[in-house]
Chain A
Amino acid sequence: MSLEDFIKSCDRWAGGDGPKNNSIISSRARYARNLEHIPFAPRARTEQLRAVLERIDEAISKSPYFENFKRLTVSDINSLQRCYLKESHLISSELEQGGEHRVLYISPDYRISIMINEEDHLRMQCIDVGFQVPKVLAILDEVEAELGRLLNFAKHERFGYLTACPTNTGNGLRISVMLHMPGLVLINKIEEITKSIAQYGLTVRGIYGENSEHTGDFFQISNEVTLGQSGSQTRETLESVAEQLLEREIKARNALFEQKPLIVRDLVARALAILKNASIIDSTEAMTHLSKIRLGIDRGWFEKELMHSDLSRLMVLVQPAHLQCEDGNSIPPERRDNRRAEILQNHLRDISLN
């Protein structure tokens, strides 16, 4: 498989249905770990970064667990491909910037990715569709245990696992759940919710994590606190809050339909009409309309023609790098919005409201 083809297949973990995927799109867990004494990536000199990479490469090569993982050198991947990997949620915005001595390992099923020399020496993550926090955490724990067996992770008797940024020290664990909440956005409850989840030590971010916006009504909920809590405590808190948010989103969607059925019908119909007929559409507008379609799927207005997983897939396909990778080349911005409209028309040609 060529590099090009491999990268294009990196969003395959997102195919298919996951539990509660009418609102919970994906679940992800990651650990941050570092080697002892060698400066953390932001402060390390080039030869030190190289040394870190060599040690980790050597450890991974010795382990049968990682035998079939694919190794990618970040500087060998062009910016469009890096953007694609970020859109597929396998790398962070930080790694998308590129950089020397940065390497990525990806599992054959595309669920596990290991980043070397991001902000920390090691960032390992596991992701899956729908609401599957225990599963991704269990797989991630296996990865962490195996890597920990081969390397000496920097640890302090008081502070636990040590990380470049003290915000990650302790268990170095970030669990996040990606929620799609068009209902709560429509009834203007988002701000209230954002404020109330802070008391659980959780935070809300946009679709690509730190520094991204809430485009398309996507909200990533993750834990902020990593010190003084065990991984299971973090998991329990996050799962419970995610369930509550899911419940509130479903209630919001139902309430909207019960109280204003015509308005909901109209919203969905207009969204579909624009998506099917526009010749030019930018990603923000496309996401905004696609988000409304979710409400229609819930009500069964598309029968089996359009499922929740189909919609989630479409919302990824309209992202800039996904758009361009279909053709295999960079498309100039003016042409991109036209291409996006074409793709939407192709996918929605036979879809209509029942």
Chain B
Amino acid sequence: MSETAKCMKCEKPATTKITKVTDYDKVMEILLCDEHAQEYRPYLRKVQPGNLVDLLQQLFKQEKVAKAITGGKTPGGPTCSNCGLTFSEYRKTLILGCSDCYSNFEKLLLPDLRRMHGATSHDPLYKIPVEKYPLADEQHQAMLPEEHAVSDNIDTLKQRLQEAILEENFDIAAKLRDEVKTLAEDSESQSAD
């Protein structure tokens, strides 16, 4: 296989490899393109994003992710059930409304937290609870009843793909990406008949 490695968050060629130790014995290698590597670690930043076009692009991308997660139903993205702050309002000031915002926006905050702190949880060994994210772990997947193990709906899969990318579970993300591809091809060949 002479294929060049691709960025795990998009289709561009990967230029940076980051090695991350998540549990005592689990080592992750994250392959990223220039742009996503800069988002990941400010210390790796070569060019400051003072460019208005860059900032707008970042905002736009964040909103795309927010839409993918909520299925694009609410304008402005998810809203905090307690104080009413919308995600896009948050993105303008980078200030949250109340303690409940953290639970309401949880996954959407991960890229910002990663960029600010190089971490997404206060305890480095934090494990995402099964109920919140059924596909988090292959072991969890095996323990769940059949109907939760695989989802047929392409929109749900796309949503889960975005979540997996936000959580940086790239093995799961790769599997989901393949499933999405397969389903998309299947539905194309079906409509062609």
Contact = CB atoms under 8 A, between A and B. Distances in A.
B82 interface: yes
A43 B117 contact: no
B116 A40 contact: no
B145 interface: no
Interface string A243-256: 00000000000000
B121 interface: yes
Given A43-B98, A158-B122, A201-B118, 10 more contacts: A40-B96, A42-B93, A43-B85, A159-B121, A160-B122, A166-B113, A170-B122, A198-B42, A227-B121, A228-B124
A36 B99 contact: yes
B131 interface: no
- Secondary structure class of chain B's binding surface, majority of residues: loop
A90 interface: no
Interface in A218-263: 224-229
A338 B96 CA distance: 46
A167 B116 contact: yes
Given A40-B97, A228-B121, A159 B116 contact: no
Contact of B98 (A40, A119, A159, A198): A40
A199 interface: yes
Given A43-B97, A165-B96, A169-B102, A227 B43 contact: no
Interface string A42-60: 1100000000000000000
A226 B117 contact: yes
Contact of B118 (A36, A39, A225): A225
Interface string A157-192: 111111011110111000000000000000000000
7 contacts: A37-B82, A42-B95, A43-B98, A165-B96, A166-B109, A169-B113, A227-B122
Interface in B69-121: 82-83, 85, 93-100, 102-103, 106, 109, 112-113, 116-121
Contact of B122 (A35, A171, A224): A171
A336 B42 CA distance: 43
A166 B112 contact: yes
Contacts of B98: 37-40, 43
Contacts of A225: 116-119
Contacts of B97: 39-40, 43
A165 B94 contact: yes
Contacts of A157: 126
Interface in A15-52: 34-40, 42-43
Interface string B41-57: 01100000000000000
B96 A198 contact: no
Nearest to B97: A43
Contacts of B99: 34-37, 40, 154, 156, 162
Chain A contact patch, size range: 20 to 34
A198 to B, nearest CB: 6
Chain B contact patch, size range: 20 to 34
A4 to B, nearest CB: 35
A174 B120 CA distance: 18
B95 A165 contact: yes
A199 B119 CA distance: 15
Contacts of A169: 102, 113, 122
A198 B42 CA distance: 9
B110 to A, nearest CB: 10
Contacts of A36: 99
A225 B113 CA distance: 10
Interface centre among B99, B102, B117, B123 (most CB of A within 10 A): B99
A227 B116 contact: yes
A222 to B, nearest CB: 14
Contact of B94 (A39, A166, A170): A166
Contacts of B43: 198-199
Nearest to B83: A39
B176 to A, nearest CB: 22
Contacts of B124: 228
Nearest to B93: A42
A229 B121 CA distance: 9
Nearest to B85: A43
Interface centre among A157, A164, A227 (most CB of B within 10 A): A227
A39 B81 CA distance: 12
A228 B119 contact: yes
A154 B99 CA distance: 6
Contacts of A34: 99
Contacts of A35: 99
B115 to A, nearest CB: 10
A166 B121 contact: no
Contact of A37 (B94, B100, B109): B100
A227 B117 contact: yes
Contact of B117 (A39, A42, A170, A199): A170
A125 to B, nearest CB: 21
B95 A164 contact: yes
